[in-house]
Chain A
Amino acid sequence: MYEKDGERYFVVDGHMHFWDASEENTKNKYGEGFIRCFYDYHKNLSPEDYVWPLEKYRKYDEPTLMKDLFEDGYVDVAIFQPTYLTDFYHKGFNTTVQDAVLKEKYPDKFVLNTSFEPRLGEAGLVQFEEKVRKYGSKGVKLYTAEWHDASKGWKLTDPWALRHLEKCQELGVTNIHIHKGPTIWPLNRDSFDLADVDDAASTFPELNFIVEHVGLPRLEDMCWIGTQEPNVYGGLAVAMPFIHTRPAYFGQVVGELLYWLGEDRLLFASDYALWHPKWLVEKFVDYQYPMENEYPEITTNVKKKILGLNAAKLYDLKVPEGVSAGDEGTGQDVTEKPAVPVEASIGGHSE
């Protein structure tokens, strides 16, 4: 819980990790490149006082994580978003099994999401169902760029992916977090393209599709899809830290999202250990647009929703009394906007 100027903010960290990229666990040059790339993100966007040495960043321990999130970082509930990357790391980068240790120890502090692997076909369905039954997950994190044998990435519209999404519906796994990254195959397309999210969201209107990193670097596609599909949400991991280095750009990103998606479909996230939630929460609560603009206002109520109340709804989390946002907001439905020519969805036509 964060308190400032008489207001209380329930904080749900919608996307965090407990990863192991230690040298012993790193399998190859790709794993080495991956963690170094992550480290540059961390160094580039964190305030100086929060930059870790590389060794600590590769693998941090449980007390560090617990203190950073829950003692110092104001987080009430944190959502584990596993990222397997077993082709890069011997034991995986951040698997459900690794996260489950903490979930068992602190059941009220964590939401444990799992994942599925559509390229395993029928066996994947069985494994997925086992994981959901074992961990009680209400959400999955899908990293479409993930390698698997000869396949260097996949799409939500692949036949076996559709089968797995049907399974999600059947099992009550309603929150589908999607992380786009530079897939390798087929290399001639734009791997950040969100067209498959658009299709899947139409096909499965009862599932919620949370686009991680609000689709960056394809913010325009994210917003376009958000206006079409009321069950598409934006996860603000990676967008949040711009609040420090580039506050005006941060304002543009959040302003556009508030305009196109509304205040009820955005979720705060630190992407810990990429960034520390403490400074993100503090700066966000203090945030005001530093430039002239025509975007919707970022009011205290909007901040409360983004920081925790929206995620609490998706995951049925109990919100303490006295922290509600005090209004029903714009809701999931897309509010009236000037009609946009269909050709504007430039990215949506690449399929």
Chain B
Amino acid sequence: MTEARTGGLVHSPPVDRSAVLEALGTVRDPELDEPLPDLGFVSSLEVDGDTVRVHLRLPTYFCAPNFAYLMVADADTAVRAVPGVHQAEVYLDDHFTSEEINDGVAQRRGFQQSFDGLADDELDELRTLFRRKALINRQQRLVKALLDAGATTGELGRLRLGDLSPSAELDTYLQRRAELGLDTGPEAPLVVDTDGNPIPPELLEGHLRFASLTRVSIEGNASFCRGMLATRYDLPTPTVAAD
């Protein structure tokens, strides 16, 4: 009843900066399937009492506004959920729709209303589409590691989630499955299509081949975006991972 009370106001516990960063780490670029801080998209974070201000930036002025909106809205939601945060201000800088997105998210208007007349729905379908791609990408990473360790295609088809040793990569895959409402239990097959169905043996090779292509695509895009961000903001050239 002493320090917490000043001038009759009850102070919230101080906001932990690292908790905010951690929260931002749960927000992904839906297209690139990686957390915003890892991509360099968080340009500044300011904790001012119980207010948190975050500035986001993207690799180009013309990055797709739908994905941009999702990232700003998701960052806003994540920051607000951090204990002690009373007010969150998330801004997207240097984008051709910065104004519409920043106002729309701040006023919680939803996507369609933020872009009055330019969208005919919310972004749920788009998000699901990219969660499906992300699922295949993450599945491929696990599968590739198993193949490199000597597993055969036939063996992969019979593996269950419970057969895999714990790893961060497996956790990420399980998270992607959970987001799509797919079975994450130990008895569920490892290799599934985007609806969670096991792949028939005669289609397994084709499925894995296409999964590999999907991974090339997503990782290539992510790496290119990192490079473009570095050029745009004069940042040190990112080291090229997995290349």
Contacts and interface: CB of A to CB of B under 8 A. Distances in A.
Interface residues of A, number: 52
A40 B60 contact: yes
B129 A253 contact: no
Nearest to A238: B224
Given A33-B61, A37-B60, A152 B213 contact: no
A350 B194 CA distance: 13
Contact of B119 (A185, A344, A347): A185
A260 B213 CA distance: 10
A159 interface: no
A153 B231 CA distance: 28
Given A185-B119, A219-B213, A249-B223, A346 B132 contact: yes
A264 B125 CA distance: 36
Contacts of A192: 64
Contacts of B111: 187-188
A338 interface: yes
A40 B63 CA distance: 13
A182 interface: yes
A111 interface: no
A30 B65 CA distance: 14
Contact of A188 (B66, B133, B231, B240): B66
Contacts of B64: 182, 190-192
Contacts of A248: 243
A109 interface: no
B195 A343 contact: yes
A219 B115 contact: no
Interface in B155-198: 193-195
B216 interface: yes
Nearest to A346: B132
B217 interface: yes
B228 interface: yes
Interface in B187-243: 193-195, 199, 202-203, 205-207, 209-211, 213-214, 216-217, 220-221, 223-224, 227-228, 230-232, 240, 243
Contacts, number: 142
A249 B215 CA distance: 11
Contacts of B96: 29-30, 33
A340 B60 contact: no
A346 B129 contact: yes
A188 B123 contact: yes
B120 interface: yes
Contacts of B9: none
Given A44-B227, A191-B64, A252 B220 contact: yes
A344 B123 contact: no
B129 A347 contact: yes
Interface in A78-114: none
Interface string A129-173: 000000000000000000000101000000000000000000000
A313 B217 CA distance: 29
A40 B220 contact: no
A36 interface: yes
Interface in A247-279: 248-249, 252-253, 256, 259-260
Contact of A184 (B65, B112, B202): B65
Contacts of B112: 188
Contact of A350 (B125, B203, B224): B125
A29 B94 CA distance: 11
A33 B120 CA distance: 26
Contacts of B122: 188
B136 interface: yes
Contacts of B211: 344
Nearest to A223: B213
B121 interface: yes
B120 A186 contact: yes
Nearest to B64: A182
A39 to B, nearest CB: 9
Nearest to B200: A341
Contacts of B194: 343, 346
Interface in A104-127: none
A333 B125 CA distance: 34
A259 B136 CA distance: 19
Contacts of B217: 217-220
B218 to A, nearest CB: 8
B220 A340 contact: no
B126 interface: yes
A337 interface: yes
A347 B206 CA distance: 17
A41 interface: yes
A34 interface: yes
A137 to B, nearest CB: 28
A34 B60 CA distance: 9
Given A245-B227, A253-B220, A344 B210 contact: yes
10 contacts: A40-B231, A44-B230, A187-B118, A190-B126, A217-B224, A220-B210, A249-B220, A341-B206, A346-B129, A346-B132
8 A-B pairs with the lowest CB-CB distances in the bound complex, closest first? A33-B61, A340-B206, A338-B206, A338-B205, A44-B231, A219-B217, A344-B210, A187-B119
Given A186-B119, A188-B119, 9 more contacts: A34-B62, A43-B231, A187-B111, A187-B119, A219-B217, A339-B202, A341-B199, A344-B207, A344-B211
